[in-house]
Structure 1
Amino acid sequence: MKLQLAAENSGQKAYCRDGKRGRKSDSVYQDLKRKIVTGELTSNCPITEQALAQEYGCSQSTIREALMQLQLNGLVVRRGYQGTFVTDPSVLEAKLLLKLRIDIETAGIPGAVRSMTRDCLEELRDLDRQMDDCQARQDFFGCSELDREFHLKLFRSSGLSVLEPILVKTSLVLHRIMIPKAQLDSIWNLPGVPPHSSILDALQQRDVQAAAETLKNHILMIAAQSAPDIYGDVAGEHHGNFQTGPARILDSGSFRSQ
């Protein structure tokens, strides 16, 4: 199955011809991120600034800025004179990243339940609807962007802001691992995966344990089915062993308007 990408290759050079260099590097970064996350760019070949500058119609300094941002987010690594390469996480690294993501996101659930508002909940449901639209168009990079926005917005409700950059990087690298490996049309439409709506329903009920358990299973099942060679044994190891600490069902009540 070939991924149908949101951006057309024929329009790549237009990314860099308007606006200031900062905006140009952002556009290049976004397109390179798309290529890496969907598997169009792999770790097999070096990425050279000169070739990219020619491809995108930009200066090498603009390309360098984009590559630095990709490196900060864990998508590329610079190897001196050998060049820049797409990262290729080991099985151990991939498993640790998954565990880290689950630990961070589930730790945020109690705070998210306490602070969740009706407006925030509706915004999360709207992001989920936008993901459905992207899946219908087979825009899997768009799904990736919206999925990470969904999970980050949910986590921001927890108030654990120091952990946000770690979650951003971890989620992005995990998508880079899982999306190219998926054999089906979308990693978010795999059988048995609890949908985002189930997480939101538990949040609306202010049920900490149910929300955390559903979130954990959502992340685990996507990983296990999209990349079974890496995560096939992980779901079994962790299923049923999750603890949220002193999780409790908060008193239900109306969500506050922002």
Structure 2
Amino acid sequence: MTDSKTTLTDAVHDLLRRAIIEQALKPGMRLPEDTVGDQFGVSRTIVRHALVRLENEGLVVTRRNRGAFVAEPSREEAQQIFEVRRCLENEVIRMLCLRMPRSGFDQLESHVRSENTARGKDGPVSIRLAGEFHILLAELTGNEVLARYVREVVLRCSLIMSLYARSHSSDCAVDEHSQIIEAIRSGDQSRAIEIMGHHLGAVAGRAELSPRAESVQEILSHYGKELAP
């Protein structure tokens, strides 16, 4: 692929990913190559390459003879992703408590200021910035492999929240981000991990990941117990 095509593919990939993470493109939405190409003024080949990259990130699925769609993770897959995310982010905390780049805290605090600016004003941007905080933490470890895995699970968690979440609270997210920074700054690994665990637990808690009752009988069985002798 030529440099110009690579640049265009990067741009289309980034814009589509942002539209998915900001919940403008909803889970299950079809992404026709010609429609995407017309909107961005690029060829279907460019769009196809961008969609392949999004599929590799778990944000898009391709269905035979039907094209590309925004992914719809199952509840079981969502639970597994959150479990992996917790493990990865605990390792990020451990590494940052041992070594933080010189400009690391400045970068984190600058990001939190951006989150505060968006707080209460722009829900989709708040959601994207919240995820990018965790990606920035991972990037600051200097471990590119770890950062890549964290980026993937964070992006997929954003998609999961779009599908299953009851609400988004940017207030608690930003406050806990600040607490995480301070715990890392003081070198208190256990405290930082504790705050991160509570933070991710709250995020997962806003997603209804337990299986839903599938029938009226199952739903009313809980209420029927009150009539039992």
Task: Give the TM-score normalised by structure 1.
Answer: 0.72
Match of 1:109 in 2: 93
1:230 aligns with 2:213: no
Partner amino acid for 1:125? E
Unaligned runs of 5+ in 2: 212-229
Partner amino acid for 1:36? I
Q: 1:43 to 1:111 in 2, by over 3 A?
A: closer
> Which structure has greater helix proportion?
2
Shift of 1:31: 2.5
Which of 193, 200, 205 is equivalent to 1:212? 193
Q: Check whether the contact 1:112–1:157 (CA below 8 A) recurs between aligned residues.
A: yes
Shift of 1:163: 2.3
Q: Check whether the contact 2:27–2:71 (CA below 8 A) recurs between aligned residues.
A: yes
C-alpha distance in 2, partners of 1:158/1:53?
37
* Partner SS for 1:230: coil
C-alpha distance in 1, partners of 2:184/2:16?
35
Match of 1:123 in 2: 107
Match of 2:219 in 1: none
RMSD over aligned CA atoms reads 2.6
Match of 2:170 in 1: 188
Match of 2:222 in 1: none
Q: Check whether the contact 2:135–2:150 (CA below 8 A) recurs between aligned residues.
A: yes
Match of 2:139 in 1: 156
Which of 138, 157, 175 is equivalent to 2:122? 138
Q: 1:122 to 1:178 in 2, by over 3 A?
A: same
Which of 156, 159, 162 is equivalent to 1:176? 159
Q: How many residues align?
A: 209
Shift of 1:58: 1.6
Match of 1:62 in 2: 46
1:34 aligns with 2:15: no
Match of 1:83 in 2: 67
C-alpha distance in 2, partners of 1:231/1:208?
31
Q: Check whether the contact 1:97–1:174 (CA below 8 A) recurs between aligned residues.
A: yes
Q: Check whether the contact 2:61–2:69 (CA below 8 A) recurs between aligned residues.
A: yes
% identity of equivalent residues: 26
Shift of 1:113: 0.5
* Partner SS for 1:40: coil
Shift of 1:122: 2.0
Q: Check whether the contact 2:164–2:209 (CA below 8 A) recurs between aligned residues.
A: no
Partner amino acid for 2:171? N
Moved over 6 A (4+): none
Shift of 1:219: 1.3
Q: 1:161 to 1:57 in 2, by over 3 A?
A: closer
